[in-house]
Chains A and B, each alone.
Chain A
Amino acid sequence: MAEKLLEVVDLKTSFYTGAGEVQAVRGVSFQLEKGEVLGIVGESGSGKSVMAKSIMSLIQSPGKIKQGDITWRGENLLGKSEKQLRAIRGNEISLISQDPMSALNPVVKIGKQMTEVIIRHQRVGKKEAEKRAVDLLGKVGISSPEERLKQYPHELSGGMKQRIMIGMSISCQPELLIADEPTTALDVTIQSQILNLMSALKDKEQMALILITHDLGVVAENCERVLVMYGGLIMEEGPVKELFQNPKHPYTEGLLRSLPKRSNGVKERLVPIQGSPPDLLNPPQGCPFADRCPYVMDKCAELPPYFKVDSERKTMCWLHESEEGDNHE
């Protein structure tokens, strides 16, 4: 049995704004095994990025983790001090964010930014850190790495900056890399380069990967297991292949149907999901998808629990209540 690396239990994160409490993550539980690749899909506002930041304890005021446990290799991260967290962040768990343009400090040279991380966590001298930085840039496929270290971020292209971010994030051989929309700002040909690179590194360094994206294609091709988020909750969870071929939750089904098909000749009309996502300032009491769902029932006014649909899959939808009887969690 594989080793459990990360366990999140009933995580709730809210932002206290002038307009009221925005409940970005409303009770999310999942686990991650060593070396696993987990995909998290969801639209903007579904809470996927806030969840990633919560795992790293990077939620800043006015945001707050209201409730829940985040267990990293047996230790609860939420009870840790800032000093203890710093030893973990960047060292054991690394985060790559969506926008490589703004994640790098524009007035500090690449070399300084990279060696800073290495010196901090690996306790090596400046010379040694520079040597390691050059190695890392080579690993992520950047040509003439010595030159790059002397450059500023604005001198590099988006794809190159994202490579540098990946290089920085693996500089301490993390156990887990969280990539939050790592290729959204990039063109497709560069996207496939970056995804290839991440999967090669994952195999080589044996790290686990959480890939957060709104692109179902990216998840289908790169992940083993997937969580589908909507309205701050996980709607459905399961192995990628089964989940995409046979979605159990109406939201997943709707998402997949709204994509253009690759059928030839006859043009099929798209099947959109009507309406728009819920307002998390006043999230609905019941199922967040109820008012857009074609199968809505009276019961949906009450938030469904998770129903297990087979050994590896669960879904938060009343439609599957009868299937497994009282087998739910």
Chain B
Amino acid sequence: MSENLLEVKDLKKYYPVKSSSLFGKERVLKAVDGVNFSIKKGETFGLVGESGCGKSTIGRSIIRLHDITSGNIFFDGDDIASLNEKGLKKYRRRMQAVFQDPYASLNPTMNVFELISEPMKIHGNPTPAEQKDTILSLLDQVGLKKDHLYRYPHEFSGGQRQRVSIARALSVNPDFILCDEPISALDVSVQAQVVNMLEDIQEKTGVTYLFIAHDLSMVRHISNRIGVMYLGDIVEIAESDELYTEPLHPYTQALLSAIPEPDTTIAKRERIVLSGEVPSPLNAPSGCKFRTRCPHAMDICREVVPPMLAIGNGRQVACHLYDEEGKIIE
């Protein structure tokens, strides 16, 4: 039962930033600053947060598209954080990715057959006939037709390209797919098609998703659990319905209240308008990073970094307002 497929422990990814002046000091941009979370087998874990909060960096770190600064990433029990390219190869097949821009992620000079067969050839040795059989059944699964097989990316719409990307990710039977803003570039009426398809695939194959997006209502729909990020930290983790009905962290509350509601029958929620903008990650505030915009900021927030409290039912929050039981400290 609910075994973890992925466990991330104290993951950090820092980027050195050169100063604009020749003799200036090199500074460090802390894109991801010590996050912990786990993803169960067969579940969809959502990551939300504003641009620049580090959600894509986490995704890319997990599938090891780049090296990390420190921390552990346990994939099915094995720590893959420090493996080299050779050691990673057998995990590469099991971890696939679908990215935001289907115009940039497909090689324009390859047709659908070549695009989908490429990962199969890298991770196995199928005969051309086997490849074709697999690809045809994949195309069927993602809602494309047989006569799309020899077409090139420019002949497809955005939604269709995203289907090709998904078919390509599925071609090597992965256990885990990183979905980094997979529907953001698509039209509203097409987004639902792709989301339904991702759900169908999960039901059929039991694949695990890390779903990164800034469309909060869509993340709620597709995810079992959600992590909320702010400036390189995860500030809250909860079951998705719980998170939306009863957000605990002041940032989560503000973020959710800012979603415009299309249903005019629902009474308007009170909107918490945050003042100011996200501080630069090069110059993050001391203590709790959210304190500069937080309506509840206290003295302690300036000095002490709030620890991540596990308050039961898999729920975690990092905020000085709450005690270990998740009660508001008076």
Contacts and interface: CB of A to CB of B under 8 A. Distances in A.
Contacts of A261: 263
B50 A187 contact: yes
A219 B260 CA distance: 8
B107 interface: no
A264 B266 CA distance: 13
Contacts of B159: 276
Interface in B178-204: 187-193, 195-196, 199
A285 to B, nearest CB: 21
Chain A CB within 10 A, most for which of B187, B244, B265 = B187
Nearest to A244: B264
Contacts of A256: 262
A214 B264 CA distance: 17
A272 B196 contact: yes
A181 to B, nearest CB: 13
Contact of B260 (A217, A240, A292): A217
B214 A214 contact: no
Interface in A242-269: 244-245, 254-256, 258-262, 264-265, 267, 269
Nearest to B220: A260
B195 A192 contact: no
A198 B216 CA distance: 23
A290 B150 CA distance: 29
B117 to A, nearest CB: 26
A242 to B, nearest CB: 9
A44 B187 contact: yes
Nearest to A271: B192
Nearest to B251: A189
Chain B CB within 10 A, most for which of A157, A195, A260, A277 = A260
A220 B188 contact: no
Nearest to A213: B260
A271 B193 CA distance: 8
A151 interface: no
B105 interface: no
A142 to B, nearest CB: 11
A241 interface: yes
B328 interface: no
A246 to B, nearest CB: 10
A29 interface: no
A193 B51 CA distance: 16
B145 interface: no
Given A189-B254, A221-B260, A262 B190 contact: no
A69 interface: no
A292 B193 CA distance: 13
B216 A259 contact: no
B103 to A, nearest CB: 13
Contacts of A222: 260
Q: Contact residue range for chain A?
A: 35 or more
B317 interface: no
Contacts of A75: none
A216 interface: yes
A215 interface: yes
B277 interface: yes
B273 A196 contact: yes
Given A192-B273, A258-B188, A277-B187, A244 B245 contact: no
B217 A240 contact: no
Interface string B19-35: 00000000000000000
Contacts of B262: 216-217, 219-220, 244, 256, 259
Given A258-B188, A260-B218, A192 B271 contact: yes
A101 interface: no
Given A255-B188, A260-B221, A273-B189, A190 B260 contact: no
Given A244-B263, A267-B221, A272-B190, A192 B241 contact: no
A296 to B, nearest CB: 16
A43 interface: yes
A73 B259 CA distance: 36
A60 to B, nearest CB: 24
B258 interface: yes
Nearest to B189: A273
Given A244-B262, A264-B241, A255 B189 contact: yes
B283 interface: no
B261 interface: yes
B268 interface: yes
Contact of B277 (A190, A262, A267): A190
B286 interface: no
22 contacts: A43-B187, A44-B187, A187-B51, A189-B254, A189-B258, A192-B271, A220-B260, A220-B261, A240-B264, A244-B264, A245-B265, A258-B188, A259-B188, A259-B192, A261-B263, A265-B241, A269-B196, A270-B195, A272-B196, A276-B160, A276-B187, A277-B189
Given A190-B277, A192-B271, 15 more contacts: A160-B277, A187-B50, A187-B214, A189-B254, A189-B274, A214-B188, A215-B260, A216-B188, A260-B218, A262-B261, A269-B199, A272-B190, A272-B192, A274-B193, A277-B187
